[in-house]
Chains A and B, each alone.
Chain A
């Protein structure tokens, strides 16, 4: 039972990440591979605030969102100068740079040692220390984020995003300021990833830089692409599939270290097969 709850919590965290990245990759058509950086900033801000000042989790999460938003605004501004392949490569670059900061700014992040003893969230004297209650909390946040994404993507704002994806020049001729739209959605997406980071930090109660590498960004991208680009349900579906699949492999009887590698092989192969046979993913509405 504990095990199932653990899996469910991971699924909801990755579903949030998938939803957030889908706004940028699926709806706006920008191939960003740096989501793990924002996920990491959210996690680190929360972890540092909780362990050093002991403030309330939700306040720390809010500060995490704000800091991530400011950083992502700067990154999004630089990235908005690039197109397609170069956009992807530039976003790679920011992931590596932010990962290096986690690893090397030792006075703040403790570097490779990581930050242990992050407390679980509490609200009005009630602490979510039981995993079951933590699951309830993450599912509530997931639902909020889901409806937020749904609201954004079905609004007129969302329609402009899709138009940017289909034909950037045409929509700018109509007088829409493309840069402003791209930046807004990039910052919103980063803020959502920061929420996932806060949840992750206080759930595992320990973070170190290795959770926020480029590989992690590729994994989040795989979640979005498998589930389906430009479909909110698809992002959640992708998270369910990609978290469950390697767990099944574990049951087949692979030892732990090989199971971890098998997880990578699986999602690598899934990416290849999807690109070959179904580039829009399971329920996607847009192809890269």
Chain B
């Protein structure tokens, strides 16, 4: 059996997941200019919310997923209001925000672990007998196909939002210059609040989809998030399409990198790529 088609399919699926995380991260970074690492923990929040509603309470699958997305978004918004908004008001340095975000991440993922134990769980009820499609000799499951489609849809939605809506323009304005946006009458606190809500909801969705594809554990967010951050930096940080491009590139590098060696090296490869990019092209592919 030829392995290359499967590697390509795997790369695309990984790219789709990373691009979702990168989209949310880029949205937040582009507006607020700080590395929100706490954002990763929200993927676990989304995954475990669905686990609770769908498997615990036996709610309808779609209701559970929508609740999971809303809860992640709401928690992201609350964290912004409680922690980041006061810090930003005081003009704290990026490093203070980064350390606070590390605190958020550690606390949130441990709270999830206390509530649901740190065991690996799977979300899908029908593990193993899922519909499977064959594409050019590579195998893709139904869940993975949904991940791919949703990833592209979210990218399109965010791209359209930036181009055609007033809200998208307001976000861009705040990202360019917060002070001046205030002067022209943009309610920056509200806009940034919405950005956190949307970004966190996307993180939650990514967590849920990973949960259906492989499974969830409380610490899943960190590695997902770091991949999203790496993808954003490779593509050009703050750039919506750059993040997606970087995500797929990272997916391919990772999956082809482990062709000959053990899969455990994936994270090391991803960070190796990050460091190479930071050294030789810190502005990413899509920035001049």
Interfacial residues of chain B within 70-108, with CB under 8 A of chain A in the complex: 83, 86-87, 92-100, 102-108
Is A206 close to B, CB under 8 A?
A: no
Is A67 close to B, CB under 8 A?
A: no
Contact, CB under 8 Å: A261 / B278 = no
Is B118 close to A, CB under 8 A?
A: yes
Given contacts A96-B268, A100-B264, A276-B100, contact A84 B83 (CB under 8 A): no
Interfacial residues of chain A within 174-219, with CB under 8 A of chain B in the complex: 214-215, 218
CA separation between A227 and B103, bound complex, in Å? 16
Shortest C-beta distance, A131 to chain B (Å), equals 29
Selected contact of B96 from candidates A92, A270, A275, CB within 8 Å: A275
Residues of A within 8 A of B95 (CB): 31, 84-85, 88, 288
Is B265 close to A, CB under 8 A?
A: yes
Residue interface mask A253-288, B partner, CB < 8 A = 1: 000011001101101111110011001000000011
Is A104 close to B, CB under 8 A?
A: yes
Shortest C-beta distance, B87 to chain A (Å), equals 6
Contact, CB under 8 Å: A264 / B265 = no
Is A147 close to B, CB under 8 A?
A: no
Contact, CB under 8 Å: B103 / A288 = no
Shortest C-beta distance, B102 to chain A (Å), equals 5
Selected contact of A261 from candidates B113, B222, B268, B279, CB within 8 Å: B113
Interfacial residues of chain B within 245-288, with CB under 8 A of chain A in the complex: 262, 264-265, 267-268, 271-272, 274-275, 278-279, 282
Contact, CB under 8 Å: B93 / A81 = no
Residue of A nearest to B218 (CB): A261
Is B114 close to A, CB under 8 A?
A: yes
Is B34 close to A, CB under 8 A?
A: yes
Selected contact of A85 from candidates B94, B107, B114, B226, CB within 8 Å: B94
Given contacts A221-B99, A261-B113, contact A272 B94 (CB under 8 A): no
Shortest C-beta distance, B90 to chain A (Å), equals 9
Is A101 close to B, CB under 8 A?
A: yes
Residue of B nearest to A264 (CB): B110
Shortest C-beta distance, B271 to chain A (Å), equals 4
Residue of B nearest to A111 (CB): B264
Contact, CB under 8 Å: A103 / B87 = no
* A interface: dominant SS: helix
Is B35 close to A, CB under 8 A?
A: yes
Is B111 close to A, CB under 8 A?
A: yes
Residue interface mask B164-195, A partner, CB < 8 A = 1: 00000000000000000000000000000000
Task: Give the size category of B's interface with A.
Answer: 35 or more
Contact, CB under 8 Å: A104 / B264 = yes
Contact, CB under 8 Å: B226 / A92 = yes
CA separation between A222 and B102, bound complex, in Å? 10
Selected contact of A288 from candidates B93, B109, B226, CB within 8 Å: B93
Interface size for A (C-beta < 8 A) is 43
Selected contact of B271 from candidates A33, A93, A262, CB within 8 Å: A93
Shortest C-beta distance, A265 to chain B (Å), equals 4
Contact, CB under 8 Å: B278 / A90 = yes
Contact, CB under 8 Å: A265 / B114 = yes
Residue of A nearest to B110 (CB): A264
Is A225 close to B, CB under 8 A?
A: yes
Residue interface mask B46-89, A partner, CB < 8 A = 1: 00000000000000000000000000000000000001001100
Residue of B nearest to A218 (CB): B102
CA separation between A267 and B100, bound complex, in Å? 11
Interfacial residues of chain A within 100-131, with CB under 8 A of chain B in the complex: 100-101, 103-104
Residue of A nearest to B34 (CB): A85
Residues of A within 8 A of B267 (CB): 96-97, 100
Is B229 close to A, CB under 8 A?
A: yes
CA separation between A104 and B257, bound complex, in Å? 15
Is A63 close to B, CB under 8 A?
A: no
Contact, CB under 8 Å: A276 / B222 = no
Is A89 close to B, CB under 8 A?
A: yes
Interfacial residues of chain A within 218-242, with CB under 8 A of chain B in the complex: 218, 221-222, 225
Shortest C-beta distance, A211 to chain B (Å), equals 15
Residues of B within 8 A of A258 (CB): 114
CA separation between A88 and B118, bound complex, in Å? 27
Contact, CB under 8 Å: B102 / A261 = no
Residues of A within 8 A of B233 (CB): 89
Given contacts A31-B98, A225-B99, contact A276 B282 (CB under 8 A): no
Residues of A within 8 A of B105 (CB): 268
Residue of B nearest to A217 (CB): B102
Given contacts A268-B105, A288-B93, contact A96 B278 (CB under 8 A): no
20 more contacts with CB within 8 A, not counting A85-B34, A221-B99, are A31-B98, A82-B278, A85-B95, A89-B274, A94-B271, A96-B267, A97-B267, A222-B103, A261-B114, A261-B118, A264-B109, A264-B113, A265-B110, A265-B114, A268-B103, A268-B107, A271-B103, A272-B100, A279-B96, A288-B96
Chain A to chain B: the 8 pairs with minimum beta-carbon distance, closest first:
A271-B103, A268-B107, A268-B106, A93-B271, A100-B268, A264-B110, A275-B100, A272-B103
Task: Please list 23 pairs of residues, one from A and one from B, whose beta carbons are closer than 8 Å in the complex, sorted by A's number.
Answer: A78-B279, A81-B279, A82-B278, A84-B94, A85-B34, A88-B35, A90-B278, A93-B275, A96-B271, A97-B267, A257-B118, A261-B111, A264-B106, A265-B106, A265-B110, A265-B114, A268-B107, A268-B110, A269-B103, A271-B106, A275-B97, A275-B99, A276-B83
